[in-house]
Structure 1
């Protein structure tokens, strides 16, 4: 304990010294003028970040700075001892519900410690609010970029990184904030990039198919409600309650051999019809319950932007009975327009964009990348996009050499105009693995199918 306290004290004491020692070429610049992008923010009046102990694993000599901006978002900055002069601005996934916390960004730095270990400064915002608010999160991320430049240092290049739902946040920010070229390039990892009005269709499909099979969310003796609003605000249902209901019906915690034939048949139906692995059924039901509640009741005026009218489900033992028996809903046109304005993408990103996605991602299906590629192409920006894929079965983090190779490629593309290919990134990953260990599973020849091949088409307003 004494050594831990001593180490923290020394780190805090040395932080300001290290800040003063950063190269003069990266020193603070005068107050940034407000640009014509709608973000009202007096960066000069913001409090300076304070030194804090870094999470473990971020690299020897790394200095961490923390604060809370005037909008209410917590942020964390990591400055490596041997800073390469560039900043990775991180947009985290989720989205998480409830009030923002400083712990959220500390967890992100722990996960993405590869960035400061590679020499990049790293900064992330908790966002000023929880919930499914893409544009607001993009504003919070851009606010942090301006704060970093005003209060910490001026980077040579800024790489905007979005993970999972945060990839849509980063893409939205890169589309909106373009005056003065605030971002030099964009990295999108495991991205939910099909747009807010289409990326979550399968979760409504899961709700209606699950209810057809299990009839306990809600139970017959409970108030009935449209499943496309997620959950009524007056409901006292908890995550533990839902987990128990799912276990009662599907026995997901039991080995497959210990399930009843009825339970096994229901699990198989969900996996085959919704096209998600059984290990992610409960997670997606949670999101379809509480995230849909957040969207309907906090973002779209109580109406739902999600519908399944016209969707034809296939893959069960009796598709005719399934399609006749599932509940049907029509998306509200006004709610769709509201969510679209906040969370759909235009593809008009004026800088290089590099993506990576695990082919077997259990959370964000890989076919979302096909949608994003079409969006970029339709905007005339297809040549500015390179998409890569790996054979992983994970969502939150792949491997250190994977991201090292991606950052090396993005840096070369930005600084030298050398556009990478999936094959060149795969080769760079193999080289990085020699130093960083772990795995490289890039599959350069892979191309995802259209999202409609996995999620049934439906009527839209």
Structure 2
């Protein structure tokens, strides 16, 4: 039991750490038992640790999402303040690094996360249980930790993660932009790949956004935007602020997709692609040999496209033929090999992983979960993976209670060796117990297949 004097000393030590956050890690290590620690890693990454006074013995290693080149890049220990507060009240230690760089930070992000875990162990001792978790890009970092360093963790949790891997991500990002250029600006010289710098990427994005804005004014243009959206599996309800369209309200669905397509152009299709290409040494995407009619037929929103083309009096077959005639894009094999090494998955899981995704995600479509399931099944690890879905629009729009429900389900699997309560009703019950004021929107859902999968469990992918 701590005496009043010891509590005073601990409070003073914690205050000293807060004042000294700019100091390197060795200087911070002299402070006894702080509640909050910040420090630096040899890579230049920073880390943060929050440890409650009544630590329950479990440490949660959080991998944050993608931060654009030049954006702030702080260390994060949880996806949001509400979730952080609930976890600390339940006794979890929360840790995470900034990653040494912004942008497409693999594989350094994995190294920085593991170094943060080592720093925690050096300071606080070995955890009884370690869970790696992350959201969006951090879900890819988390899955990489799970596959490549299973001995460092007991389980993993991916929230709206890029669990399809880097090669699949950039191929599937290429397809809608290729369709937009071929159908809306066929004579333009806008580069879709091999972007030399961020300035070129921004100009290309601005040009394509202007073309999409112009096309949205006509029925023909709207049908073509819907076709591009279908090649990325962008759903017709994809932001929480949108009214949810009726299943056959094709115009409302397309209006929602139009906003998401512009977001894809502004965020990922050019600027983030340029950063990824620079790190991989060239273009990692291709559409040589791709049958776009076949992709469209497998899309989750293909019916909408057909209806809008009929309404516009436009030939869908003719536009698909135009895509066939458009000059195709070949990848740089060395760049693909580089991205494959750092950012694709084998599907082999030695420890349990639980994935959660919103059904209405426009940026990292829910079908990415089908891509991971495909790889995990081929690798014989299906018993270690479970996936669940919240019936909500947007990217990573989970309530704190929904995230705690997922964590507790994973912990139950770690403790018992079997999956219990991974169904929607049980997850909603766990969420209600975690925080009754929060939404609990888990639903039974089965995503369609991912349109351009690529993983190391299928050697013929993309060849």
Count residues with an aligned counterpart.
Answer: 398
Secondary structure at the residue paired with 1:128?
Answer: coil
1:379-418 → structure 2 map (5 Å cutoff): 379-418=379-418
Alpha-carbon separation, structure 2, partners of 1:334 and 1:289: 20
Task: Tell me if the contact between 1:98 and 1:129 (Cα under 8 Å) persists in the aligned partners.
Answer: no
Q: Which residue of 1 aligns with 2:447?
A: 448
1:50 and 1:67 in contact (8 A); partners too = no
The residue that corresponds to 2:299 in the other structure is none
Q: Secondary structure at the match of 1:391?
A: strand
Please, which of 196, 199, 202 is the counterpart of residue 232 of structure 1? 196
| Structure 2 residue 267 is the aligned partner of structure 1 residue 268 | no
Sort the Cα spacing of 1:342 and 1:100 in 2 relative to 1 into closer, same or farther, 3 A.
farther
- For residues 216-365 of structure 1, what are the structure 2 equivalents within 5 Å? 220=188, 224=189, 226-229=191-194, 231-233=195-197, 236-237=199-200, 239=202, 244-251=206-213, 259-261=217-219, 263-276=221-234, 277-285=257-265, 286-299=267-280, 301=281, 303-314=282-293, 315=305, 317=316, 318-365=318-365
SS, match of residue 408 in structure 1: helix
Structure 1 residue 426, shift from structure 2 partner: 3.3
Question: How far did 1:417 drift?
Answer: 2.8
The separation in 1 between residues aligned to 2:379 and 2:324, in whole angstroms, is 39
Separation in structure 2 between the aligned mates of residue 130 and residue 378 of structure 1, nearest angstrom: 33
Q: Structure 1 residues 323, 71: CA separation in 2 closer, same or farther (over 3 Å shift)?
A: same
1:110 maps to 2:107: no
Query: In structure 1, the residue corresponding to 2:81 is in which secondary structure?
Result: helix
Q: CA-atom RMSD, angstroms?
A: 3.5
Q: Which residue of 2 aligns with 1:427?
A: 426
TM-score by length of 1: 0.76
Question: Any gaps of 5 or more consecutive residues in structure 2?
Answer: 1-6, 18-23, 235-256, 294-304, 310-315, 455-459
Higher alpha-carbon deviation: 107-116 or 144-153: 107-116
3-state SS of paired residue (2:451) = helix
Q: How far apart are residue 108 of structure 1 and its match?
A: 4.4
Deviation at 1:151, TM superposition (A): 2.1
- Give distance in 1, aligned partners of 2:8 and 2:374: 48
Would you say the 8 A contact 2:176–2:229 is kept in 1? Answer: no
1:8-87 equivalences in 2 (<5 Å): 14=11, 16=13, 46-48=26-28, 63-87=35-59
Q: Within the alignment, does 1:141 sit opposite 2:131 as a pair? A: no
| Structure 1: tracts of 5 or more residues without a match | 1-9, 21-43, 52-61
Task: Tell me the SS of whatever aligns to 2:420.
Answer: coil
Does the aligned pair in 1 maintain the 2:360–2:392 contact within 8 Å?
Answer: yes
Using the size of structure 2 for normalisation, the TM-score is 0.75
Give the deviation of 1:169 after TM superposition: 1.0
Displacement of 1:335:
1.8
- Secondary structure of 1:412's counterpart equals helix
